[in-house]
Amino acid sequence: MAQTTESPPRPTPKAPAPQPAPRRRLLDVLDRYDRYILPAPALIVVVAMLAFPIGYTIYLSFHEWSGGLRPPEFVGLDNLTRSLTDGQFWGSIWRTVYFVTLSVGLQVVLGVGAALLFHQRFPGRGMARTLFMFPMIATPAAVALVWKMMFDPTIGILNYIVQSVGGPTLLWISDANLVIPALAIVDTWMWTPLVMLIVLAGLAALPQEPFEAAKVDGAGPIRTFVSVTLPLLSPVILVAALFRLIDAIKTFDIIKVITDGGPGTASETLNLYAFKQGLSYLHFGYGSMLLVWLTLLVFVVAIVFTRLRARTDQG
């Protein structure tokens, strides 16, 4: 008779030990508010990195300080009053507006034109797009040095081109009337590709139905561009213009390298004037007040263009 072997009884699993009440409450809170708690450390660091420079600049704008061990001296609204009566400050505001209007206007016109061109299909389009974007990825200081040599009245290639077609010798960056347009040319050369990229993305996302309807109605290319493409593309163009306006107001490197604000103060924009007051003349308080004005100017431009874009979307 065969003998049967009995397997040993399996051990009964133990029930998990109850967690202490405070730990359980902590886990419940983490589960409930994890979308706020987890990104909080990174958010606090980012806000602190943004808030501290802005807060310290505003703090210094109400003080006078030349550095060193002596603490900043509170002067109240003296720096604000000084800026309102400073002719050089108002001159720098005018030169900033002149430079920004000229450079951004050229960039928007040329960028839209380039986007319309590169939106068409033609052999070598990919290579042409890549080459067109080269100025945007170059280092601004290196670009400024190259353009400074090109602007040279004796060995620069620009005067060679102008003279070869019978033009006069131009003192591009030594003439007070030409220096801002010359700097605007450099800024336009660098940043028109960015406008082209933004507008090109907008063109690719446009619906095709309005264009087909215009084609059925017999509209030509110019009529289609004015009546269909431009209205549909205007929000994208405003966004590109806003990006470039904010960046152009803060332009520093190419102006510093090419002219350093000269001749005289003919190309001294607000950003460069604030830099000189703060770091060249060690008037940190007054330089901070000028930076507050620069920040307010950027805010005003951003608010105006944001409202324009919202109005365009509603229309």
Domains and CATH numbers, the chain: 77-313 (1.10.3720.10)
More confident site: 310 or 290:
290
Task: Give 86's pLDDT tier (boundaries 50, 70, 90).
Answer: very high
CA distance from start to end of the chain: 97
Alpha-carbon distance 5 to 18, whole Å?
A: 39
Query: What are the φ and ψ backbone dihedral angles of 271, each rounded to 5 degrees?
Result: -65, -40
Mean pLDDT of 120-146: 89
Chain-centre distance for alpha carbon 301? 12
User: For residue 256, which of 267, 245, 240, 243 has the smallest C-alpha distance?
Assistant: 267
Q: What's the chain's length in residues?
A: 315
For the four alpha carbons of 237, 243, 244 and 246, in that order, the dihedral sign comes to positive
Query: What is the per-residue pLDDT for 2?
Result: 47
Query: What is the per-residue pLDDT for 90?
Result: 95
Lowest-pLDDT range of 19-28, 126-135, 210-219, 279-288: 19-28
Task: Give 6's pLDDT tier (boundaries 50, 70, 90).
Answer: low
Chain-centre distance for alpha carbon 11? 68
Mean pLDDT of 213-231: 88
Decide: 64 and 285 in contact? Cβ < 8 Å.
yes
Average pLDDT, the chain: 89
Lowest-pLDDT range of 24-38, 56-70, 225-239: 24-38
More confident site: 237 or 19:
237
Mean pLDDT of 42-62: 91
Query: Could you tell me where the DSSP H helices lie in 151-269?
Result: 157-164, 179-204, 209-216, 221-224, 230-249, 253-258
For the chain, how many helices (H) and strands (E)? 16, 2
Mean pLDDT of 188-197: 94
Mean pLDDT of 117-140: 89
Mean pLDDT of 51-71: 90
**Per-residue pLDDT tens digits for 264-281:** 999 999 999 999 999 999
* Percent of the chain clearing pLDDT 70 (strictly above): 93
For the cut 50, the answer to whether the pLDDT of residue 31 exceeds it is yes
Mean pLDDT of 238-254: 92
Task: Give 309's pLDDT tier (boundaries 50, 70, 90).
Answer: confident
Whether the upstream peptide bond of residue 263 has omega within 30° of 0, thus cis, is yes
Could you tell me the pTM of the whole model? 0.84
For the cut 80, the answer to whether the pLDDT of residue 200 exceeds it is yes
Half-sphere exposure of 251 (CA within 13 A, CB side): 35
Task: Give 9's pLDDT tier (boundaries 50, 70, 90).
Answer: low
Mean pLDDT of 101-109: 95
